[in-house]
Homo-oligomer: A and B are copies of this chain.
Amino acid sequence: MSTTAERDPLPRQDRGTRPDRSPKQDRSRATRQRLLEAAVACLAEHGWAGSTVTVVAERAGVSRGAAQHHFPTREDLFTAAVEYVSEERSLALRALFPDGAADRRAVVSAVVDLYTGPLFRAALHLWVAASNEDQLRPRVTELEARVGRETHRIAVDLLGADESRPGVRETVQGFLDMARGLGLANLLTDDAGRRRRVVAQWAALLEEALG
């Protein structure tokens, strides 16, 4: 991933606004993005065992050589993919509440939504594969810690939680653990009905606990 970072040094918010980008850079960026999105979809559908650089390149309509130019190893491709889509979803979550702290029921519901759907499924496959694969484990551990910290920060902001008060940090953490557990419960069956009721009740509990 450090290789990728060197090739793509712009912070996200600058992308698309720089007037001096060449068409070649644009094409390269578009290729990279197609690969990342195909990688997440592939992980979600086929799991780690069925996800290779070749399969993803085909799905993205990119040559294997071009894919390897962007992502030298399978681990590079899939960790970058989960990271990319996590960042996209974090940005989308913030964008839902442009004024920051908002109605807690709406925030709880939107945060839980992060953990249902293809991204969570893809991340879960990567996570579980990493628990048995030495090559993958340190990278996924580091990635999960980073994504987890960012999600915690967003949840604290949007819930208007005052972490200087005792217990508030753990209250928010437990809520995020619950959100991940709800994602897990949605893996094999459509759990939307039950989830809606749990979210309503826990939003009320959080409202009381956070004051």
Which chain A residues have a beta carbon within 8 Å of chain B's beta carbons? 45-47, 49-50, 121, 124-125, 127-132, 137, 140-141, 144-145, 167, 170-171, 173-182, 184-185, 187-189, 194, 197-198, 200-202, 204-205, 208-209
Q: Is the CB of A180 within 8 A of B188?
A: no
In this complex, the member of A50, A131, A140, A197 whose beta carbon has the largest number of chain B beta carbons within 10 angstroms is A131
Q: Is the CB of B177 within 8 A of A127?
A: no
Q: Is the CB of B187 within 8 A of A131?
A: yes
**Chain B residues whose CB sits within 8 angstroms of the CB of A46 once the complex forms:** 132
Q: Is the CB of B198 within 8 A of A209?
A: no
Chain B, Cβ-Cβ closest to A200: B170
> Known: A132-B47, A177-B185. Contact between A167 and B125, CB under 8 A?
no
Q: Is the CB of A140 within 8 A of B188?
A: yes
Q: What separation, in Å, do the CA atoms of A137 and B128 have in the docked complex? A: 17
The 24 listed contacts between A and B (C-beta, < 8 Å) are A45-B132, A47-B129, A50-B132, A121-B131, A127-B187, A128-B128, A128-B187, A130-B188, A131-B187, A131-B188, A141-B188, A144-B188, A167-B204, A170-B198, A170-B200, A171-B205, A174-B178, A174-B198, A174-B202, A176-B181, A180-B184, A181-B182, A184-B184, A208-B208
Chain B, Cβ-Cβ closest to A137: B188
**Chain B residues whose CB sits within 8 angstroms of the CB of A141 once the complex forms:** 188-189
Q: Is the CB of B188 within 8 A of A173?
A: no
Q: Is the CB of A201 within 8 A of B50?
A: no
**Chain B residues whose CB sits within 8 angstroms of the CB of A124 once the complex forms:** 128, 184
> Known: A129-B47, A132-B47. Contact between A201 and B184, CB under 8 A?
no
